[in-house]
């Protein structure tokens, strides 16, 4: 059983907002939204009130059966605020706790607080614990819920329990002609000049700075962080550390763009003209109607960073996440509206790829950001006439240089790069080029020992949501059958098949296949097989000698996915040689180099194509979600003795 932080919650409802086109009402609308948002952020329960140094409100806490964890847990409502005390009741007795103590308690393994705005309970979502979460679309500012009784809905299976086929998550399919037409019309209602730009409603830049600040404040609360991390774990099973890191990265991004930083995104430049009265001004201009399409593996981080970037720049956004995990994004959108974002600025829908493809064809958005498979990315680039930015496939390489050092640390990072999130990262380490010196230092045994510690119980390895077990094992067998190749470790079904992961998903042990470098480069067929991306816990290992570095660089040149890479070396000349011969858009270099990193911390995106998108930074947002517009002011004066010249 889960406590809710506000008893005024409604499962479904209609979001309303004053007309942004009415300048007289805009300030009032902003103030109302902001006041409502601040109230939502600071209010954790209907019964609890903000407290000061002289006033304390107590809340009685009860113990409730935790069926999903097999034990008793403590559910509580608390007041948490800057410089405030908090209240916790144990066994019917109330006592005042410090803010720090309360926060630590709230982060305990069994703390369960359902935020007021939430409609999905991650501690439920099963036949035994409350039934399925039911999704809803946000279209034209109002929520349209799916019907739990069936009909035009999709039943998402629990990725950890093959028996839960209809009591996990129910999403609307948004597939009827009427549904599609409404979504298309909503997107087309936005002009090419966007919802705001430097000459239209510039106060909205400030508004989104305030919204970002409130979102970050809300997501900093331990109970909100835990809510999202747990929900992520339920739909895209990964370790709690990985799920919580996704929430933290998202919160830090929102902190980065709080206050005036949204307005600073629209920074332009001015150049003197070539005569008196002329000035040339460069501006960042929105596209207007845009779409965001994101995958399953980071159900909060990727869509939120791209959605918010698009909104910051003045676009109207249609956002769609993979239906297997779209409940996470829906809950964030609900929080976004609570924090004051105008509900008509975006549409959020649950649907499959076929439906989204039809919506894109009919609406022809001015920009689409797609994160996902290379095959789909190329189809969209063709059908949308190149109006796309892509973060597609990543077969990501790591090169260990000739200088061996910090072996345990480098092994730890390699294990994380290859197998965290069960290898389901577009930045995951796909192939490891080990200098012979690292092989002699026992590096393969190091990473084998670390991989062996991963298990299904703590989700350090878990279900693969895009490939079946047999597909991955068949690929491993093909690699191992190449001349001189062998299975370094893994190559078997997880837990010898003793698990409840649905058969349409995959479950294999962390796996590495060693393939000699000369074998990889012996033929196009071998190279294609060895560099095929498997979006799961499987990597290729190979080794090279000093005189074989040119062959390694040739292999990097032949790859056609250039997302992330790593050069692990403290040898400056070696690092320069590799960096100068490669193109990957996000490349790490040095002893601590990795292939995976936090996209709010630096630019993250591929290179080598004009369609390359980015995420997380000022440069990424400006590149993906705005275009350059030049406005030349030519004000005069015109000379008094000016005469019409002859026609040229």
Positions annotated as catalytic residues are 391, 426
- Sign, CA dihedral 161-166-170-176, equals positive
Burial of 27 (0-12, 13-18, 19+ CB in 10 A): exposed
Cα 573 to chain centroid, rounded: 36
H helix intervals, 441-547: 443-452, 469-480, 517-520, 524-530
How far apart CA 633 and CA 640 sit, in angstroms, is 20
CA 472, chain centre distance (Å): 25
8 Å CB contact between 189 and 195: no
Distance CA 434, CA 443 (A): 8
Query: Which DSSP letter does residue 537 get?
Result: S
Task: Compute the distance between CA of residue 503 and CA of residue 567 in angstroms, rounded to an integer.
Answer: 38
Q: How many residues does the chain have?
A: 648
Contacts of 488 (CB under 8 A, 6+ apart): 444, 448, 512, 513, 514, 541
CB 492 within 8 A of CB 508: yes
Q: Residue 302 is encoded by which pair of tokens?
A: 């990727």
Q: How far apart are CA 286 and CA 110, in angstroms?
A: 45
Q: Are 139 and 347 in contact (CB under 8 A)?
A: yes
Can you say whether residue 64 is alpha, beta or left, with left for phi > 0 and alpha for psi between -120 and 50 degrees?
Answer: beta
CA distance 419 to 414: 8
CA neighbor of 456 nearest in space, from 511, 509, 492: 509
CA distance 398 to 545: 15
Quote the CA–CA distance of 234 and 228 in Å, as a whole number: 10
């Amino acid at each position: 059983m889960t406590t809710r932080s506000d008893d005024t919650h409604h499962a479904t409802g209609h979001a309303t907002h004053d007309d942004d086109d009415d300048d007289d009402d805009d300030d009032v609308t902003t103030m109302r939204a902001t006041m409502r948002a601040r109230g939502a952020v600071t209010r954790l329960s209907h019964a609890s009130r903000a407290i000061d140094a002289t006033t304390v409100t107590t809340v009685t806490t009860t113990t409730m059966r935790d069926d999903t964890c097999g034990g008793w847990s403590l559910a509580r409502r608390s007041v948490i605020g800057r410089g405030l005390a908090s209240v916790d009741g144990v066994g019917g007795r109330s006592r005042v706790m410090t803010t720090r103590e309360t926060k630590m308690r709230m982060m305990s393994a069994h703390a369960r607080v359902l935020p007021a705005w939430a409609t999905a309970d991650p501690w439920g979502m099963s036949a035994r614990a409350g039934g399925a979460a039911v999704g809803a679309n946000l279209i034209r500012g109002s929520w349209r819920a799916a019907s739990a009784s069936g009909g035009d809905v999709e039943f998402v299976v629990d990725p950890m329990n093959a028996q839960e086929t209809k009591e996990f998550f129910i999403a609307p399919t948004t597939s009827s002609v009427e549904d599609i037409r409404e979504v298309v019309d909503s997107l087309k209602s936005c002009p090419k000049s966007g919802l705001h730009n430097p000459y239209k409603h510039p106060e909205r830049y400030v508004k989104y700075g305030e919204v970002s600040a409130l979102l970050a404040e809300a997501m900093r609360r331990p109970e909100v962080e835990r809510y999202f991390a747990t929900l992520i774990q339920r739909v895209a099973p990964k370790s709690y550390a990985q799920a919580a890191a996704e929430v933290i990265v998202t919160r830090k991004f929102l902190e980065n763009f709080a206050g005036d930083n949204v307005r600073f995104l629209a920074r332009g430049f001015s150049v003197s003209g070539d005569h008196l009265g002329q000035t040339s001004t460069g501006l960042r201009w929105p596209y207007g109607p845009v779409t965001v399409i994101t995958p399953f593996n980071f159900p909060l981080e990727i869509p939120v960073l791209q959605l918010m970037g698009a909104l910051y720049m003045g676009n109207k956004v249609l956002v769609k996440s993979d239906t297997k995990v779209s409940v996470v994004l829906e809950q964030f959108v609900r929080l976004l509206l609570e924090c004051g974002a105008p509900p008509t600025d975006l549409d959020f829908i649950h649907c499959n790829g076929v439906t989204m493809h039809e919506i894109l064809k009919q609406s022809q958005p001015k920009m689409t950001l797609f994160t996902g498979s290379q095959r789909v990315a190329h189809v969209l680039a063709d059908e949308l006439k190149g109006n796309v930015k892509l973060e597609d496939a990543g077969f990501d390489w790591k090169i260990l240089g000739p200088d061996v050092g910090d072996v345990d640390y480098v092994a730890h990072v390699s294990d994380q790069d290859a197998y965290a999130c069960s290898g389901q990262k577009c930045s995951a380490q796909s192939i490891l080029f080990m200098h012979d010196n690292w092989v002699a230092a026992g590096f393969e045994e190091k990473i084998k020992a670390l991989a062996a510690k991963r298990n299904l119980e703590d989700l350090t390895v878990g279900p693969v949501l895009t490939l079946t077990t047999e597909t991955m094992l068949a690929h491993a067998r093909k690699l191992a059958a190449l001349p001189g190749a062998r299975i370094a470790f893994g190559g078997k079904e997880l837990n010898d098949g003793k698990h409840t992961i649905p058969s349409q998903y995959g479950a294999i042990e962390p796996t590495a296949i060693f393939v000699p470098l000369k074998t990889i480069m012996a033929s196009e067929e071998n190279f294609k097989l060895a560099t095929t991306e498997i979006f799961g816990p499987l990597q290729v290992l190979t080794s090279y000698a000093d005189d074989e570095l040119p062959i390694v660089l040739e292999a990097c040149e032949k790859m056609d996915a250039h997302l992330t890479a790593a050069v692990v070396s403290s040898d400056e000349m070696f690092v320069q040689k590799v960096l100068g011969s490669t193109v990957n858009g996000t490349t790490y270099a040095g002893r601590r180099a990795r292939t995976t990193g936090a996209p709010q911390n630096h630019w993250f995106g591929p290179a080598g194509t004009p369609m390359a998108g980015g995420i997380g930074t000022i440069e990424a947002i400006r590149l993906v979600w705005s275009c350059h517009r030049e406005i030349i002011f030519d004000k005069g004066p015109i000379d008094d003795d000016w005469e019409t010249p002859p026609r040229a």
